[in-house]
Amino acid sequence: MDRRNFLKSGVATAAATAVLADLSTIPARADEAKTDGGNGGSEVVAVRNGSAVAMFRKGIEALGGMTAFVKPGQKVVVKPNIGWDRTPEQAANTNPELVAEIVRQAIAAGAAQVQVFDHTCNEWKSCYRNSGIEAAVVAAGGKMLSAHDEKLHYVEKSCPQAVSLKTAKIHQAIIDADVFINVPVLKHHGGAKMTAAMKNFLGIFWDRSFMHKNNLPQCIADCALYRRPDLNVVDAYRIVVANGPRGKVAEDIRELRYQLLSRDIVAIDAMATKVIGYELADVPYIALAATAGLGVADFSRITVKRLEA
């Protein structure tokens, strides 16, 4: 049985074991790792076996703490996946407890403001409410922004380096932010194969339909050229492994209790393929982004720091 079918058919604990076997095939050089992984490479922190909050605390500490990313007085934008009118248990959106912890830590690091938004697929108020993210963010001291009005929220920008997405309307909050923290949930996606750090970018742009009609993998890679995140956190506590991006039945969901963190959006997506059980070639936008100079997709140049929460 291949890794993909094993992940879909196994129980959660068995799936988690498969994940660890995948990641352990990549040499971990944590004792010599620098911020960028050294030798022109990149570092990814992989944390397992804890709550979403506990794993983030462990992972961010390994990257130097939130103060390595957020300085006093800065404006921070946190971009989770809130695209679907689903509960946390249905795994279509980012874990609300994780989002809240990121907001709390950014505020503790001295952020002047922490804003959170997503350009949702379902009706935005229902998504914000039923995902649990709105309540969690407000309780943590952050502010939810809407993203449903083209004229009110979006500014047209151009990107000459892009291949397919030469111009696009991007949310004003991303343009204005001093710090951009990208917090997707890992899951299967029917069109792009996998949602992780780069695919989450579609929620900061207005016209997603153009991307789906004009070489979606290339558009996903192009999106990250508009604004690189300062920190990427891939939530794999509970994931959709089939019928994504929403999932249809309980059997589509697996609880893995896993989390990835990295400054490198390409490296973290490359490692995410290991977590969900895909080959790198199954997710073509990763190689396209590496070719564009957005990060490292070569596993031999990625340092993996594996931690227990």
**What is the pLDDT, as a whole number, of residue 12?**
41
Q: What sign for the dihedral angle of Cα 160, 288, 175, 146?
A: positive
**What is the pLDDT, as a whole number, of residue 245?**
81
Which of the 8 DSSP states describes residue 112? S
- Domain at 215, CATH number: 3.40.50
Judging by DSSP bridges, how do beta strands 231-240 and 193-195 pair with one another?
Answer: unpaired
The partner residues of 45 in beta bridges, in order of sequence, read: 261, 305
**What is the pLDDT, as a whole number, of residue 251?**
87
Total number of domains in the chain: 1
Q: Collect all residues with Cβ–Cβ distance below 8 Å to 25 and sequence separation of at least 6.
A: none
Q: Which domain holds residue 185?
A: 3-308
232: tokens are: 């990427």
- Consecutive H or E run containing 140: helix 133-140
**What is the pLDDT, as a whole number, of residue 237?**
97
75: tokens are: 């404006």
- Tell me the whole-structure pTM to 2 decimals: 0.89
Rounded Cα gap, residues 45 and 233, in angstroms: 9
**What is the pLDDT, as a whole number, of residue 15?**
44
pLDDT tens-place values along the chain, 309 residues long: 333 443 333 334 344 444 443 555 544 433 333 334 444 679 999 999 999 999 999 999 999 999 999 999 999 999 999 999 999 999 999 999 999 999 999 999 999 999 999 999 999 999 999 999 999 999 999 999 999 999 999 999 999 999 999 999 999 999 999 999 999 999 998 778 899 999 999 999 998 889 988 899 999 999 999 999 999 999 999 999 988 787 888 888 999 999 999 999 999 999 999 999 999 999 999 999 999 999 999 999 999 999 999
Q: Do 66 and 60 contact (CB within 8 A), yes or no?
A: yes
**What is the pLDDT, as a whole number, of residue 29?**
38
**What is the pLDDT, as a whole number, of residue 22?**
56
